[in-house]
Amino acid sequence: MKNEDIYKKAKKRVQAKKGFFYHLLAYAFTVGMLYAIMHFEKNGEILPVIIVALSWGIGLATHYFKTFGTEHLDFLGINSNWEEEELEKEIKRLERKRELQERISKEKSLLDDSEDLRLKEIEKKPLQGDFD
């Protein structure tokens, strides 16, 4: 990657983070103002504030995850590289499954060969008895 490409990518990420923080400020200001209006003008009716805060909050959370991913949520028990860890676990699980299937197939083949040998031995015994 060229330095210019790196600079453009970094600038784009910084602009996305800046956009998120402006979105967060607009959310806090609007919900705060709506709460104050409802508290003083509508006798403390809070249901409209909750509806606006939750619905807009979903959009804000989506904006957060689009901008930052899960890199800052380690304190909640969300590992920032959980995807890679889950991918490694899944790969190991599938490899073990394939190894077991190969072992089962190999053992089944050995068992079939063993049964064929036993059948040949059984077939030979009556033939030996006929010549005596």
Last residue of a domain, one of 78, 98, 113: 78
> Quick one: 89 and 62 in the same domain?
no
- pLDDT confidence of residue 44: 80
> How far is residue 113's CA from residue 100's CA, in Å, rounded to a whole number?
20
> Quick one: 59 and 110 in the same domain?
no
> Quick one: 10 and 54 in the same domain?
yes
From the CB of residue 49, how many other CB atoms can be counted at a distance below 10 Å? 20
Output the CA torsion sign for 104, 106, 110, 116.
positive
> Quick one: 42 and 23 in the same domain?
yes
> How far is residue 63's CA from residue 23's CA, in Å, rounded to a whole number?
9
> Quick one: 1 and 57 in the same domain?
yes
| 71 vs 125, higher pLDDT | 71
> Quick one: 37 and 11 in the same domain?
yes
Q: What is the DSSP letter of 70?
A: T
Task: Work out the mean pLDDT of the chain and round it to a whole number.
Answer: 82
| Domains of the chain: total | 2
Q: Give the least confident one: 20-24, 32-36, 66-70.
A: 66-70
For the segment 35-77, what is each residue's pLDDT rounded down to a tens digit? Answer: 999 988 888 889 999 999 999 999 999 999 888 877 666 666 6
Assess contact for 31 and 52: CB atoms under 8 A: yes
Q: pLDDT band at residue 123, thresholds of 50, 70 and 90?
A: low
* Residue type present at position 79: N
pTM above 0.85, yes or no: no
